[in-house]
């Protein structure tokens, strides 16, 4: 089964509405053109929540719509007294994707896998596509506990997810020691982890879901290393952070495209 390659950009807390719309207006035609020439590619951008509506308006003025929009964060409840939060239905009005379980949400804002699980279920209920982040920290990595940590994060975050839902998931494997450090994982180790994740999926959800699952690598992805990651059999794309708010994001997409890889 041929899976699409997803090139995703997590802008984190960078680019407010004004800067975000200017940036998107500039890079969008280039992103659309690359995807038009290689329909095997897709792209998702995750601007800050406060910029989603303006970015969406800019995207709607484009004659071609190949880039999808995602929220970096949401709460699981329908509505109510949850100051500062956005509900799944609110996110759905603007976005097709939602990023869940990013390590910055886990470590800085104390999100647990149990909480992330409620959000994953809420995303599916509202027809949003969750992109679930998992990853081990440096100590866990040094102790050889990476697989164990990832397996536990997946088990808890995906509790009560059914086989059909599981098949639609995108998992971003993002080792914490590689995020924002300019020290990306080597492609082979990332590929091995992606293989491990797909094998776990096979056991939990069966062959069809395991074949459909998209697994991305994230952590210091740039246009210089993207080709190595996506050449791994079990890696179906990347989630870029720092590079996604620069012109390098266009170069990442280009280097992931057929034309970029032929060079």
13 lies in the binding site for ligand PGA (CB under 6 A): no
Q: How far is the CB of 43 from ligand PGA (least distance, A)?
A: 15
Binding mask 116-135 for ligand PGA (x = CB under 6 A): --------------------
Binding mask 161-200 for ligand PGA (x = CB under 6 A): -------------x----xx--------------------
Catalytic residue among 111, 136, 165, 174: 174
**Of the candidates 70, 88, 101, 219, which one interacts with ligand PGA according to CB under 6 A?**
219
Helix, strand, coil percentages in the chain from 3-state DSSP, rounded to 5: 50, 15, 35
CB-CB neighbours of 83 under 10 Å: 4
255 lies in the binding site for ligand PGA (CB under 6 A): no
220 lies in the binding site for ligand PGA (CB under 6 A): yes
Span from 107-115, 201-209, 212-220, 254-262 in contact with ligand PGA (CB under 6 A): 212-220
Residue 124 vs 229, nearer CB to ligand PGA: 229
Q: How far is the CB of 193 from ligand PGA (least distance, A)?
A: 15
Q: Which of 77, 82, 116 is CA-nearest to residue 99? A: 116
**Of the candidates 48, 218, 237, 260, which one interacts with ligand PGA according to CB under 6 A?**
218
Q: Is 174 a catalytic residue?
A: yes
Q: Within 13 Å and on the Cβ side, how many CA atoms surround 149?
A: 20
Give the Cα separation of 36 and 38 in Å (integer).
5
Structure tokens that stand for 190 in this block: 């990332």
Give the Cα separation of 62 and 7 in Å (integer).
19
Residue/partner pairs of 200-208 with CB below 8 Å, 24 or more apart = 200/151, 200/154, 201/166, 204/158, 204/166, 205/163, 205/166, 205/167, 206/163, 208/163, 208/167
Question: Which residues are known to be catalytic?
Answer: 102, 174
Binding site for ligand PGA (CB under 6 A): 10, 174, 179-180, 218-221, 239-243
């Amino acid at each position: 089964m041929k899976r699409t390659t997803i090139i995703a950009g997590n802008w984190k807390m960078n680019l407010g509405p004004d800067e975000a719309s200017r940036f998107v207006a500039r890079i969008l035609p280039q992103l659309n053109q690359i995807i038009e020439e290689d329909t095997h590619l897709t792209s998702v951008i995750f601007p800050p929540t406060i910029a989603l509506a303006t970015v969406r308006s800019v995207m709607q003025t484009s004659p071609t719509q190949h880039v999808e929009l995602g929220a970096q964060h949401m709460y699981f409840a329908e509505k109510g007294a949850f100051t500062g939060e956005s509900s799944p239905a609110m996110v759905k009005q603007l976005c097709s994707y939602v990023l869940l379980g990013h390590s910055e949400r886990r470590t800085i804002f104390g999100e647990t896998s149990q909480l992330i699980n409620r959000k994953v279920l809420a995303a599916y209920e509202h027809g949003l596509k969750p992109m679930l982040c998992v990853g081990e920290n440096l100590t866990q990595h040094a102790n050889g506990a990476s697989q164990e940590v990832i397996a536990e994060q997946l088990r808890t975050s995906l509790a009560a997810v059914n086989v059909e839902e599981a098949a639609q998931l995108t998992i971003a494997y993002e080792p914490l020691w590689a995020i924002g450090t300019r020290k990306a994982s080597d492609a082979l180790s990332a590929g091995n982890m992606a293989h491990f994740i797909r094998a776990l999926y096979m056991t939990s959800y069966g062959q069809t879901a395991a074949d459909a699952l998209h697994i991305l690598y994230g952590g210091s992805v740039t246009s210089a290393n993207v080709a190595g990651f996506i050449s791994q059999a079990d890696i179906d794309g990347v989630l870029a952070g720092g590079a996604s708010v620069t012109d390098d994001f266009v170069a990442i997409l280009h280097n992931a495209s057929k034309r970029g890889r032929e060079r």
